[in-house]
Chain A
Amino acid sequence: MNLQYALGIAGLTLAVGIGTAAFAGPDEDKLVINDVIEMITEAPAPEHVKQLGTIYSGWRFRTDDTQALEADDFSNPAMLAVDAAAEAFSKVEGEAGKSCASCHEDVSKFKGLAPSMPKVVDGKVVVFEDMINSCRTNNMKAEAWKWNSDEMQGMVALIKNQSRGMPVNVTIDGDAKPFWEKGKEMYYTRYGQLELSCANCHEDNYGNMIRADHLSQGQINGFPTYRLKQAKLISVHNRFKGCIRDTRAETFKEGSDEFKALELYVASRGNGLSVETPAVRQ
């Protein structure tokens, strides 16, 4: 069906070039988690990405099997890491003899924080990994967690999960403006020997197949996501890294200023979609 459509449209593609909207598109499924939490997987595009028309969660582009895993916490493989983080939250670690719970009581106190993340504090983009490690090193006198470690991504997922269902609402003006601009510039830069930008795949071609992959809009409202391929929770920056590496480019590092600016920008493209953490992807 998709293939035939693509074949039929070949002449048109040539004539108008790519950049026209997706051909195959997202499916029409609704995501209601645990039969209770209704998720916004589709919303009018925010003013600053009007060209998208409508924004969609990556969930809408996945197969029924993958979709089903996320719809129920009992089948969501990410929940193991989230449960482990819930235990870690009240575990005393470090020389100060404290746990997260010593100061933050219950993790549910973080409800409402995820939709506004990342944000700019004191002239720097702050992402969850920074906040958590700052508390670990300064407040607990414990060792920092590695960016991609199960502990770190489990904790990020646990905190973001408190806001599951709430619409993303990242600030892009004021102090955030220069970082947002930097992220936007990166989004449209054609990196690597293949000379491909994020926009080439996730704006001009979402809905289309690239080899065996059904391209989504590359939204991050569900991060950290459990990737079935890697069989673990993966960070936003790890995903960015993989996508840039696949353009035969020299990537940036997890935690780099570049990826933080890009995270801010990409998050803002999802303003209006529900926080879906922890999402499940192929």
Chain B
Amino acid sequence: MKRATNVLAALSVCAASAAFAAPPAPGDVVYEDGAVAQSLTGAPGDPAAGKVLMNKGSGNCIACHAVSDLSELQFHGEIGPSLDGAADRWNEAQLRGIVANAKMTFPETMMPSFYKVDGFIRPGNAYTGKAPEGPLDPLLSAQQIEDVVAYLMTLKE
């Protein structure tokens, strides 16, 4: 199953690469009612990689969300709603929009904007507490956004 997904992903990367040069810069992503129709990489993401990001580094979604599928991991947060059944509530474009910049869907939300690089107040150099040394990277790359979205698409009840 996993292999099939990867092969598929590889195939569509080839198919798309001609038309799709580089991911859009965070400022160029088009949101419609919070949703982003176009894949940021022009290809489907890898749900297995997305699953890892839910618990890791800049993703760390379960700091705020509970996910039953990840129940082997300790300490799920209670800040946001459980993500169980997320794919029943939202379509892929909506989920992409929420992960890339949740404030386009929920205006004042506490959820960080994962594909955004400017407009911050006193941004720092990661978790050092110091000023950044150059332009900021988004919290998640275009590929990582697609991977997380692909994982969220598996959360059906």
Contacts and interface: CB of A to CB of B under 8 A. Distances in A.
A211 B128 CA distance: 20
Interface stretch (B34-42, B61-69, B141-149): B61-69
Interface string B98-127: 000000001011101100000011111111
Contacts of B109: 17-18
Contacts of A249: 120-124, 129
A251 interface: yes
Given A24-B78, A248-B124, A195 B64 contact: no
A257 B124 CA distance: 20
Given A211-B60, A244-B129, A193 B136 contact: yes
B151 to A, nearest CB: 18
Interface in B64-100: 64, 66, 74-82, 84
A208 B77 contact: yes
Counting chain B CB atoms within 10 Å of each CB, the highest count among A23, A194, A210 belongs to A194
Interface stretch (A1-9, A71-79, A125-133, A138-146): A1-9
B139 interface: yes
A163 to B, nearest CB: 32
A255 B49 CA distance: 44
A249 B62 CA distance: 21
Contacts of A23: 78
A249 B132 CA distance: 9
B96 to A, nearest CB: 18
Contacts, number: 104
Contact of B78 (A6, A190, A196): A6
A112 B129 CA distance: 36
B110 A193 contact: no
Interface string B131-157: 110001001000000000000000000
Contact of B124 (A10, A13, A208, A251): A251
Contacts of A250: 122-125, 129-132
16 contacts: A3-B66, A6-B78, A17-B109, A18-B80, A190-B121, A191-B120, A194-B139, A205-B79, A210-B78, A211-B62, A211-B75, A248-B123, A249-B120, A250-B124, A250-B125, A250-B132
Interface of B: 60, 62-64, 66, 74-82, 84, 106, 108-110, 112-113, 120-132, 136, 139
Given A6-B78, A248-B126, 17 more contacts: A11-B81, A23-B78, A189-B121, A190-B121, A194-B139, A205-B110, A208-B79, A211-B62, A211-B76, A245-B127, A248-B123, A249-B122, A249-B123, A249-B129, A250-B129, A250-B130, A250-B132
Q: Which 4 A-B pairs have the closest CB atoms?
A: A10-B81, A245-B129, A6-B78, A212-B75
